[in-house]
């Protein structure tokens, strides 16, 4: 499956690094919400859902974690361990986050406000959703 990662341009000088993310530039949608995941306990796996509408960019701004993406046909595992690299996740992608380092901070920029009714938490329903979208039985 196609994995879309984005490399952000650091504004570095002798003081260190700074990365700026602006909607419709580095971020391909209007950002309505920002959240972050940290202090993740050892061995935890999170996510286990897709979305009907939500698009997101994930950046592991500190430490590392892995993201499993599933488009209903193929799967890919992506290591996020660079504060200057983002992972774009479209709505219709099943995602699971795992292998968090103890110091990991996973920042997420989201295209929509939080809405529980946008979640698809059942894997069979997810398959039906993506197949219906592609017009496949
Ligand atoms: C996603 C992955 C990458 C809120 O109240 N507001 C929010 O904006 C979010 C994201 C969550 N919550 C509450 C809902 C739950 O009671 O925080 C709790 C944990 O959320 P959840 O179990 O959905 O967290 P993850 O890590 O499974 O999934 C999250 C996002 O929900 C999801 O959209 O794509 O991170």
Is the Cβ atom of 47 under 6 angstroms away from ligand 1? Answer: yes
Candidate from 70, 114, 126 with most ligand 1 atoms within 8 A of CB, to mutate: 114
Residue 15: inside a domain: no
pLDDT per residue rounded down to tens, the chain (137 residues): 999 999 999 999 999 999 999 988 899 999 999 999 999 999 999 999 999 999 999 999 999 999 999 999 999 999 999 999 999 999 999 999 999 999 999 999 999 999 999 999 999 999 999 999 888 76
3-state SS track over 13-69: ECCECCCCCCECCCECCCCCEEEEEECCCCCCCEEEEEECCCCEEEEEEECCEEEEE
How far apart, in whole angstroms, are the C-alpha atoms of residue 120 and residue 91? Answer: 10
Residue 29: inside a domain: yes
* 62 is known as an active-site residue: no
Residue 78: inside a domain: yes
- pTM for the model: 0.96
How far apart, in whole angstroms, are the C-alpha atoms of residue 86 and residue 109? Answer: 10
Residue 125: inside a domain: yes
Give me the number of domains the chain comprises.
1
SS3 label, residue 70:
strand
Domain hosting residue 29, numbered range: 4-9+20-134
Answer yes or no: are the C-beta atoms of 108 and 34 closer than 8 Å: yes
Residue 45: inside a domain: yes
Catalytic one among 11, 30, 49, 51? 49
How far apart, in whole angstroms, are the C-alpha atoms of residue 20 and residue 26? Answer: 8
pLDDT of residue 27: 94
Residue 14: inside a domain: no
CATH number at residue 118: 2.60.120.10
pLDDT of residue 137: 61
Residue 79: inside a domain: yes
pLDDT of residue 124: 98
Q: How far is the CA of 130 from the centre of ligand 1 (A)?
A: 21
Residue 27: inside a domain: yes
* Buried/exposed 116-131: b ≥16 CB within 10 Å, e otherwise: eeeebeeeeebbebbe
Half-sphere exposure of 82 (CA within 13 A, CB side): 12
């Amino acid at each position: 499956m196609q994995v879309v990662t984005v490399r952000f341009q650091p504004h570095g000088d002798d003081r260190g690094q700074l990365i700026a993310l602006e909607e419709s530039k580095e971020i391909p949608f209007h950002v309505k919400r920002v959240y972050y995941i940290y202090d993740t306990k050892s061995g935890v796996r999170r996510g286990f859902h897709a979305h009907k509408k939500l698009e997101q960019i994930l950046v592991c701004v500190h430490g590392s974690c892995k993201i499993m993406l599933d488009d209903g046909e193929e799967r890919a595992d992506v290591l996020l361990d660079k504060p200057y690299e983002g992972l774009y996740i479209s709505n219709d992608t099943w995602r699971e986050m795992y292998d968090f380092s103890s110091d990991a901070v996973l920042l997420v920029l989201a295209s929509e406000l939080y809405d529980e009714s946008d979640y698809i938490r059942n894997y069979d329903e997810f398959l039906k959703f993506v197949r219906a979208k592609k017009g496949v039985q």
